[in-house]
Chain A
Amino acid sequence: MVPFAYAAAASAPAAIRHVAQRRDAEFIAGGTDMLQLLQDGVRSPSELIDINRLPMTAIEVGPKGARLGALARMADVADDPRIRAEFPMVAEALLASASPQVRNMASIGGNLLQRTRCLYFRDVATPCNRRAPGTGCPALDGENRLNAILGGSVHCIATYPGDLAVALVALDADVHIDGTRGERTIPVERLHRVPGDAPHLETVLEPGDLITAVTIPAGAAARRSHYLKVRDRASFEFALASAAVGLEVDGGTIRAARVAVGGVATVPWRLRHVEEALVGRPLSADVIHEAARTSSDGAEPRGRNAFKVALLPRTVERALRTVGGLA
């Protein structure tokens, strides 16, 4: 680890101003991704500003939806009975993430901003366009079993590794940001950028931007929802493919559908064409099969990750059958 200076912020405006002005100053929340990246030498901030004392831990649930403070811990959100009842896919995505110890530490804001698990990104001995712009992408023709089949470019095919953001994108959640130019709210779906020709630009956040909260609208499809995560071992592993799905069913007909997938794409990936193939149709195993089998449409496998092209539709199908009561 290179030397850095540390301070704990007592007020958000001062923390925002400081991080916006100082080159290479960064926030630290739970520290669980930051410490890994520091240990591996992937990041070398000049200063770390601890935001844990800012009053952003509340979890509020009302008739319109939920508001998760950016410093709410993954474990507290996953265990909240109101979240489990109104947004099962959110609780399930969190429970399927990391380990109990990490979930006690890690924050909701930090979770959204966790960096990719691409082997080359986390190994400073190798080139990587995302970590060191312009050096190349060894994953394209290399060890890319974990990499993305959707949303990649010839410059980067890194998978977005998080689970929570996939559920949030499925549910049209918003992220609330405070910055040097005031507060703003954007859909979680617009927080992350596909790599294109600038893979090092991972989000739309500007220096000093502080995530303050996430809000999730309530609804029938949020209540009847499920997060399915397929991985190399039963627990404590990142997704090879995952599906966050929700259905609103009325008299045997699907009125609304939510489908987003993780582990396969460079950003949390909504499958609107699969949703459209479900809405207005009767809830049946056949309808689900026909809709889910298009999940990998447009995929661009690069060798070792080609198995995901078949794995993804099956993951989506199983998740939809579970939530439809057809498992």
Chain B
Amino acid sequence: MELPRPRRDIELTLRVNGAERPLTLDARTTLLDALRDHLHLTGTKKGCELGQCGACTVLRDGRRIKACLTLAAMQAGAEIVTIEGLAADGALHPVQAAFVEHDGLQCGYCTPGQIMSAVALLREGRTGSDDEIREFMSGNLCRCGAYTNIVAAIRQAADRAA
């Protein structure tokens, strides 16, 4: 099989929150920029663009990834879920509700990433103890230091899901 000719402009279809979104993008476009600047899904935040803060966490085929560390072109055909895709029929996802209840935020900038990461964490079953939650949430930084309430929110969402 020959290699398709490498292109600087890429035509692709992203599947985001259940919808097919055809796009033509510069090959350099990260998944994060495609979501925010081209699909106007600005719930996914841009912090460091270096994989270090977790603000850009989304789900790809059910697993959490950092949208700033992958090219949009590499995600053609994958199922992407962003914070905008979590609530069902206007009802908050249980993790979203738990963050509200426990005040798991201050400025809120890291919160979409925290919540997407926590949704995946629950699926991974990494909520055995508060220490396990802390370790497996370590990819999400909070400059406001809302960690205590973030862990409490995740603890509650995990207990209710059990």
Whether chains A and B associate is yes
Find residues 61-80 in chain B having any chain A CB closer than 8 Å to their own CB. 63-66, 68-71, 73-74, 76
Q: Could you tell me if B139 and A236 are in contact, using CB atoms closer than 8 angstroms?
A: yes
Is A177 in contact with chain B by the CB < 8 A criterion? no
CA distance A101 to B65 in the complex (A): 4
Given contacts A50-B74, A100-B64, A105-B70, whether A7 and B7 have CB atoms under 8 Å apart is yes
Is B89 in contact with chain A by the CB < 8 A criterion? no
Q: Could you tell me if A101 and B7 are in contact, using CB atoms closer than 8 angstroms?
A: no
B145 to chain A, nearest CB (A): 14
Interface centre among B4, B10, B51 (most CB of A within 10 A): B51
Q: Could you tell me if B3 and A36 are in contact, using CB atoms closer than 8 angstroms?
A: no
Q: Could you tell me if B69 and A36 are in contact, using CB atoms closer than 8 angstroms?
A: yes
- Per-residue 0/1 for A51-82: is the Cβ within 8 Å of any B Cβ (1 yes, 0 no)? 01000000000000000000000010000000
Is A31 in contact with chain B by the CB < 8 A criterion? yes
Is B28 in contact with chain A by the CB < 8 A criterion? yes
CA distance A6 to B11 in the complex (A): 11
B115 to chain A, nearest CB (A): 13
Partner of B71, one of A35, A36, A47: A35
- Looking across the interface, which residue of chain A has its beta carbon closest to that of B76? A8
- Per-residue 0/1 for B27-65: is the Cβ within 8 Å of any A Cβ (1 yes, 0 no)? 110100000000000000000011100100100100111
Inside 8 A of A99's CB, which chain B residues have their CB?
51, 54, 138-140
- Looking across the interface, which residue of chain A has its beta carbon closest to that of B67? A101
Inside 8 A of B26's CB, which chain A residues have their CB?
3
Inside 8 A of B70's CB, which chain A residues have their CB?
30-31, 35, 105
- Per-residue 0/1 for A100-114: is the Cβ within 8 Å of any B Cβ (1 yes, 0 no)? 111011000000000
- Looking across the interface, which residue of chain B has its beta carbon closest to that of A79? B124
Inside 8 A of A39's CB, which chain B residues have their CB?
49-50
Do most interface residues of chain A lie in helix, strand or loop, or is the interface mixed? mixed
Given contacts A10-B1, A14-B3, A236-B138, whether A3 and B69 have CB atoms under 8 Å apart is no
Q: Could you tell me if B69 and A6 are in contact, using CB atoms closer than 8 angstroms?
A: no
Q: Could you tell me if A105 and B49 are in contact, using CB atoms closer than 8 angstroms?
A: no
Partner of A35, one of B4, B30, B60: B30
Is A5 in contact with chain B by the CB < 8 A criterion? yes
- Looking across the interface, which residue of chain A has its beta carbon closest to that of B73? A6
CA distance A38 to B27 in the complex (A): 12
Inside 8 A of B63's CB, which chain A residues have their CB?
75, 104
- Looking across the interface, which residue of chain B has its beta carbon closest to that of A32? B69
Q: Could you tell me if B3 and A101 are in contact, using CB atoms closer than 8 angstroms?
A: no
Inside 8 A of A35's CB, which chain B residues have their CB?
30, 51, 68-71
- Per-residue 0/1 for B1-16: is the Cβ within 8 Å of any A Cβ (1 yes, 0 no)? 1111111101000000
Q: Could you tell me if B51 and A36 are in contact, using CB atoms closer than 8 angstroms?
A: yes
Partner of B27, one of A5, A36, A98: A5
Q: Could you tell me if B139 and A101 are in contact, using CB atoms closer than 8 angstroms?
A: yes
Is B86 in contact with chain A by the CB < 8 A criterion? no
Inside 8 A of B121's CB, which chain A residues have their CB?
100
Partner of B3, one of A1, A18, A236: A18
Q: Could you tell me if B4 and A7 are in contact, using CB atoms closer than 8 angstroms?
A: yes
- Looking across the interface, which residue of chain B has its beta carbon closest to that of A236? B138
Is A157 in contact with chain B by the CB < 8 A criterion? no
Q: Could you tell me if B7 and A102 are in contact, using CB atoms closer than 8 angstroms?
A: no
- Per-residue 0/1 for A228-271: is the Cβ within 8 Å of any B Cβ (1 yes, 0 no)? 00000011100000000000000000000000000000000000
Is B120 in contact with chain A by the CB < 8 A criterion? yes
Q: Could you tell me if B64 and A101 are in contact, using CB atoms closer than 8 angstroms?
A: yes
Q: Could you tell me if B117 and A101 are in contact, using CB atoms closer than 8 angstroms?
A: yes
B68 to chain A, nearest CB (A): 7
Q: Could you tell me if A5 and B69 are in contact, using CB atoms closer than 8 angstroms?
A: no
Find residues 1-34 in chain A having any chain B CB closer than 8 Å to their own CB. 1, 3-11, 14-15, 17-18, 25, 28, 30-32
28 contacts between A and B (CB under 8 A): A1-B28, A3-B27, A4-B27, A9-B3, A14-B2, A30-B70, A31-B71, A31-B74, A32-B66, A35-B30, A35-B68, A35-B69, A36-B51, A36-B69, A50-B73, A99-B138, A100-B120, A100-B126, A100-B136, A100-B138, A101-B51, A101-B66, A101-B117, A102-B66, A102-B69, A102-B139, A104-B65, A234-B138
Ordered nearest first, which 10 A-B pairs have the shortest CB separation? A99-B139, A5-B6, A235-B138, A6-B27, A11-B1, A7-B6, A236-B138, A14-B3, A47-B6, A35-B69
